[in-house]
Amino acid sequence: MKTTAVFCALSVLYGALAFYLPGLAPVNYCKAGETLETCKSDIQLYVNRLNTEKYVIPYEYSHFDFCTVEDGQSPVENLGQVVFGERIRPSPYKLEFLKDVKCDKVCIKTYTGGYPASEKKLQLLRKGMAMNYQHHWIVDNMPVTWCYQLEDERQYCSTGFPMGCYSKEPRSQQDTCTIHGPYNKPNTYYLFNHVNLTITYHSGATEEWGSGFKENGGRIISAKVVPHSIKHTGTIDCESQIPLEIPATAQAAGQTFQITFTYSVKFVRNNTIKWSSRWDYILESMPHTNIQWFSILNSLIIVLFLSGMVAMIMLRTLHKDIARYNQIESGEDAQEEFGWKLVHGDVFRPPRKGMLLSVLLGSGVQVFFMTLVTLAFACLGFLSPANRGALMTCAMVLYVCLGTTAGYVAARIYKSFGGEKWKSNVLLTSMLSPGIVFSLFFMMNLIFWVNGSSAAVPFSTLIALLALWFGVSVPLTFIGAYLGFKKRALEHPVRTNQIPRQIPEQNFYTQLVPGIVMGGVLPFGCIFIQLFFILNSLWSSQVYYMFGFLFLVFLILVITCSETTILLCYFHLCAEDYHWWWRSFLTSGFTAVYLLIYCIHFFFTKLDIEGATSTFLYFGYTFIMVHLFFLLTGTIGFFACFWFVRKIYSVVKVD
């Protein structure tokens, strides 16, 4: 059974990897002068924001003094791209299909000493090179990649390339200046003002062109760049070996300094790679990809086996308990009840702070279904890397539209607790969790805005997000709450006594805090390997694409949270502790605390983030992720335990 499940999940994974984005049609290119209705000759090169691993704040391309175009039309960005800070703009680089460019000038920038504007622009360039800010260019919806050799002699293709490098002492093997070549003058800034573009294409991609266009037409399958620093003295010479050094200090008054930006383009034919497989060389070069396959599969098999053992033990023990409780009463057997049957009159007693618990559960169900549907779409290929921002857009739209589910669940649970303040319940459900997320997001957006970052969401987008919240999500939550309160309250299988039973003194492992701390260990154990690659993709500009395994890990997380919470709940009930409502939510929800600890560990051991502002932004995003994960895992554990308790008390005979 488990082997079949793993096999099916792997089949889904391979299908997702091989399947290109549905609805995304390839673009056919022809040589200039032979353009048809089905193809075009001009290739548009777009530039995106610049970011770095050392500084969380990204900047728009025009923030630095690079060559720009005045009359270009920017592509329409979706909600996910805007929220993530992507700013795609047209570039002044002119590309024509099959037209090689040996050495062409883009523009010349002149800086004069004594002018504050010039000094500020040069200082921005120095800052960008010192912090290793990277360009992100796009050709035919493909990232322009920069490929180089790693220390283990394996080629790594990055989706960005540096704007320059700062040669400092001591130097390391993976220093940007060392990778590029002879840029070794200590404490010197080298600006990469020249790029060699290599565009690989698949010719004869469409049979409907006819035989006359097979040689001069095709589809782009890759675009690679090799940046250089070249000092053009007088005439433009792209073969010069003299690097361009940016002055480290302010220039003398009246002294001028020029930067000439140039580029070369070369087209290479390759008919062995299909257009549908053109992302493979990027994805396969991601670090530790082979290790990830083995490690994730190994951890999943272990967790599945352990979960099966827990389930088997629970079923055998429960079967014996129920058989003993339900046996024909004899004089000896009917003397005294014991174990979990003893607390049947208190097990469904409403908990303290039932309003808050119901609100958290409603928001947790909302997050659960948002995650489930988003991962399902990602596995089917709809949210592939080719569709930029689609993952975030899908998640946000689903979260808003699932307000009805949140309101319905919160109302049903709250009504089962005997609550009557339905207005407070629905307002808290629609405001509490979204309010926490939006408040953190708004604070970080203010920091981005103060720093002039491209990640600062425009005011119009903030208004749109608020409109989605108050105009769509809140009304849907009210509709769900209305439907939930209209239903009859949940009927429990046993009656609740009027006087609460006294709970005996508990052992160490059945006390509240130790039980909660132990409950989050196993669920975290099944996600921490996948978590490493997710954090890498978020903070190290790597492409995450293994949604098949992520979906499988999510299913295992659901199973593990459920079984762990049920097991601990059973122990507590056997110890005559009937306060399981909040305990079941917090037991699996404590996995989020381990997630927070891991994010802190990742920050100090894997990242090179510098500055108090970047640190605050990192932990701001981390707290949003931890908060949503707390709601997700806590809700899974609660409803598993809720089903378990109702099930066992419905099959046992109670006087």
Q: What is the pLDDT of residues 297-322, one digit of tens each?
A: 766 776 777 677 777 777 777 777 76
- Examine the pLDDT at 56 and tell me if it is beyond 60: yes
Bridge-based pairing of strands 146-149 and 155-158 is antiparallel
17 closest CA partner among 284, 370, 395, 223: 284
How far apart, in whole angstroms, are the C-alpha atoms of residue 235 and residue 228? 17
Would you tell me how many other CB atoms lie within 10 Å of the CB of residue 462? 15
> Which two three-digit tokens encode residue 1?
């059974």
Q: How far apart are CA 355 and CA 417, in angstroms?
A: 8
User: What amino acid is encoded at 357 in this protein?
Assistant: L
In angstroms and rounded to an integer, the radius of gyration of the C-alpha atoms of the chain is: 30
CB contact set of 47 (below 8 Å; sequence gap of 6+)? 61, 66, 88, 89, 90, 91, 135, 136, 137, 138
What is the average pLDDT value for the chain, to the nearest integer? 82
Region 390-402: what's the mean pLDDT? 92
Token code pair at residue 430: 């629609």
Beta-bridge partners for 263:
104, 195
Whether the pLDDT of residue 15 is over 60: the answer is no
DSSP designation for 372: H
What pLDDT does residue 468 have? Answer: 93
Determine contact, residues 191/259, Cβ cutoff 8 Å. yes
In the numeric block, which tokens belong to residue 216? Answer: 């001069």
- Given this model, what pLDDT does residue 4 score? 36
Q: What is the pLDDT of residue 541?
A: 74
For residues 594-614, average pLDDT:
90
Q: With 80 as the cut, is the pLDDT of residue 509 above it?
A: no
Of the given ranges (103-107, 159-163, 209-213, 427-431), which has the lowest mean pLDDT?
Answer: 209-213
Q: Which residues contact 192 (CB under 8 A, 6 or more apart)?
A: 161, 162, 163, 164, 165, 180, 227, 228, 229
- Type of residue at 134: Q
Six token digits for residue 547:
């949604």
* Residue 526 near residue 553 (C-beta atoms within 8 A): yes
What per-residue string of b and e applies to 463-495 under the rule 16 or more CB within 10 Å gives b? eebeebbeeebbebbbebbeebbeeeeeeebbe
**Closest Cα partner for 97 from 200, 233, 241?**
200
Q: In sequence order, what are the residues at sequence separation of 6 or more whose Cβ sits closer than 8 angstroms to the Cβ of residue 647?
A: none
**Hey, CA dihedral for 286, 289, 291, 296, is it positive or negative?**
positive
Q: How far apart are CA 236 and CA 217, in angstroms?
A: 31
7 pLDDT exceeds 80? no
Check residue 335 and give its pLDDT. 44
Nearest residue to 553 via CA among 12, 84, 21: 12
Percentages helix, strand, coil for the chain (3-state, rounded to 5) are 50, 15, 35
Helix (H) or strand (E) holding 131: none
Structure confidence at residue 323 as a pLDDT band (50, 70, 90): confident
* Half-sphere exposure in the Cβ direction for 238 (13 Å, CA): 19
Provide the pLDDT for residue 211.
46
Confidence class for position 432, pLDDT limits 50, 70, 90: very high
- Give the pLDDT of residue 602: 92
Give the pLDDT band (50/70/90) at residue 462. Answer: very high
Report the distance separating Cα 361 and Cα 200, nearest Å: 52
Q: Quote the pLDDT of residue 593.
A: 95
Looking at 420-424, 506-510, 597-601, which range is the least confident one? Answer: 506-510
Structure tokens at 179: 């990778």
Burial of 146 (0-12, 13-18, 19+ CB in 10 A): buried
Q: Give the 3-state secondary structure of residue 580.
A: coil
Residue 533: HSE in the Cβ half-sphere, 13 Å Cα cutoff: 22
C-alpha distances in angstroms, 520 versus 190, 234, 568, 588, 633?
Answer: 49, 67, 11, 5, 9
Report phi then psi at 446, rounded to 5. Answer: -65, -40
| CA separation, residue 252 to residues 109, 115, 243, 247 (Å) | 18, 10, 22, 11
With a cut of 90, say whether residue 402 has pLDDT above it: yes
Between CA 6 and CA 304 the distance in angstroms is 10
Pair of tokens at residue 420: 């009557």
pLDDT value for 13? 37
pTM for this entry: 0.86
Output the pLDDT for position 80.
Answer: 85
Contact 578, 349 (CB under 8 A): yes
